[in-house]
Chains A and B, each alone.
Chain A
Amino acid sequence: MNLATAARRIPSWSLPLVLAVVVALLPVLGVGSSVLRQVVLVCILALLVSGLNLSLGYAGELALGQAAIYAGGAYVSGYLGAHGQTDLLVQLVVACGVALVLGLITGIPGLRLNKWALAMVSFFLVLLVPDILDLFEEETGGRLGLTGIEPVTLFGLPLDREAFAVAVVVVTALWIVVFRNLVTSRHGTAFLVLRESPVLASSTGISVFRMKLSAYAIGALPAGIAGTLFANLDQYLSPESFGFALAVSILAASILGGSASVYGALIGAVILQLGPLQSTEFEQYALIVYGLLLLVCGVLLSSGIAGIVGRLRKKVERRWLPREQAPPYEGELLPDLDGARLSVEGLSKSFGGLHALDGVTLDARPGEVTALIGPNGSGKTTMLNMICGYYRADAGEIRLDDTVSPRAPFQVARAGVARTFQTPSIPSGITVAEAVRAGRYATEHTSFLSAVLRLPAYRRARARDLDEAARVLTLVGLQDLAHEDATSLPLGTRRLLEVARSLISRPRVLLFDEVASGLDEDEVDRLGELIRRLRDAGATIVLVEHNFRLVLALADRIHVLARGSILATGSPAEIENHPDVLREYLGTPVASAAATPGGGRDDD
């Protein structure tokens, strides 16, 4: 075994684990109480930041209410502590429950609103903290603060300052493990898909609604945990600890450390806690520092420190630790596909006064390539979007075999309709293989819990993800690029990646939207070959294509759309010589039309 392979075998979590153990041992080694306090504060901030990272960095949702959820967790724990319930675990569980509720409440508007509105609503919560504390003055102490919190215990044993610090480090480390296991799992990729585009997410069968709610809920948990820890640090709470300065510092730490990373939260928390947050005398300067951090990082350093480290690591790996070429895929490359008959009947759709589709009837059968062609603006894209469930029909029906196609886009995808996009839609920050595996997210359901705990069910699903990804990547000829950054690929390759992603779920209907545009001749030939093989395997293939040659060469049947209606349907030979089609493509013959004023009437 050579050195490179050995180095690769070292798990990426070893260094953080060693660090966590060292920090957890600090109190035992007898460091001063001021150092311990800093350690606890870093942990608390890291928890808050990692919650934000999940929603902002992974799910792309601007939910900024962490400071308010933190306050909720802290006051509930403080209230329990002041009323005799001092057990740390009990407090943690209750705080998590409160956080979950708060996270959902602030998140719900986000299901309907644009990003700005969600950001403002969740930010507004921070403004409300002092007022709400005032309303419950008896329980919270109002503006004067909550006092009389009893010292914390664990299983009935009191925790002294050192033991408490150890507990804080352990709790934080455990959360980081949970967070890491979640975002490195298939769920993490699904979040990134959601961040890239809700349209893409639903086209792979991900329920955008469920996924967003999960992000708000899970992202709120660490804020609740942090609240419990904070309440027991000084046994005193005051509204001032939960203001805008804190909210902004959480965001600054997230951006600085890198929002879309596991350890970025720690990096950001350490820097801010040991830097500007260090001393209250510098509070006014702290705001300037946060402001500058947000400004500079927002403009120049979009992936934060973790992003820089990640890029460096990749460079090092590429230079000194070359990856062994994966062995070629052994199994059957293209098993039979169970194609479904897609039939569209009398479909109409208007936008405002414009009839985009007007009573369109067409069908696509298993084992055939059905092409949909037509000039610009003839309604091809609208047709595709309606099949996928993005628009609701004014009239008419879409069926898969004999059942009416479901309404929501993610349900359509789960019913077996897979598609590619005119402009390839690929999340940033993941590899080719991960991007392809994302297409299988809904095919095989695994729970969040099984991913976090790496249960056997999750491991089996992941093994199948890997296997299937290897299969479809080999099928489209991208197996050697599996570990490349997906968004850095040239356009033609990104299209093939989308084809692979659409194939991995073993779909019943495949919709290819302009899949050949931007490919070079060689790639078009290979793609044509692949489409023929898919057809022979039994798939139902719908080709929306500008490339007339490719259509003539591949299609079994062609539907020609013009101004929202079907102009002609037939075999390639029939369509090629169809007079109406020629006229639609080439225009009204000016000479003959000029001879008969108001001519071309026969066109309608």
Chain B
Amino acid sequence: MSAAQRFLEVKGLKKEYVAGNPILKGVDFSIDSPGIVAIIGPSGTGKSTLLRCINRLIEPTAGQIIFDNSDVCLASGKVLRHLRRQVAMVFQEYNLVERLSVIENVLSGRLGYMTSWQAWRRNYLQSDINNAYELLAAVGLEEHANKRADSLSGGQRQRVGIARAVMQDPRIILADEPTSSLDPKTAVEIMELLEKFASEKNIPALVNMHDVKLAQRFAKRIIGMSNGHIVYDGAPEGITDEHLKKIYGGESWLD
């Protein structure tokens, strides 16, 4: 561990859903500074799989994921749950518990810190409840606290999703296509929120994206993936049409 804080290191990560047909073919990168890191690449290239390996929603086939000085791939049971609560996730389709209220969804970010018995009795710390309302205000939804999550619009739901993620008090945020189901204006607002929380908490946010322009606008660093490999890793200004051709293939879509 050098002077620069190392948030995450991925070494030789491989994932095969079907034996002999890898979707991730050895991915290496490390994240040493806070801020937004965008992962771009075509559909089906393993971006979602990569993020889900980091919090072990998907089991990696081979490789190492070093987070908080331990290998996530080897963790299980309580150790894994303790790693997961420091790795927050934001989803493309928001994945809110639709029949719970907005504030309950935000508070569910604390479940990793509670016993099941406390969860059953909804026995949250008063400080957590205060934080949850503060976060809801920060994403501009304080008046919706007691509405059911399924009564919100897409953009509002994603704000709740971000509030839930930040509620975990994470050391890294993973966002899987957080703006792909949203209109362009809302997408920018959501990216601004991610940027704001990442800098407030001084943590990195690893964001899968389709929209190269949006990625270049918000990211401090872009990782381009193609066919299970990283083909670009560097500053957003450094991306050229050549790189994009390599990442997405073809060129007729470039203007």
Do the two chains bind? no
Interface residues of B (CB under 8 A from A): none
Interface residues of A (CB under 8 A from B): none
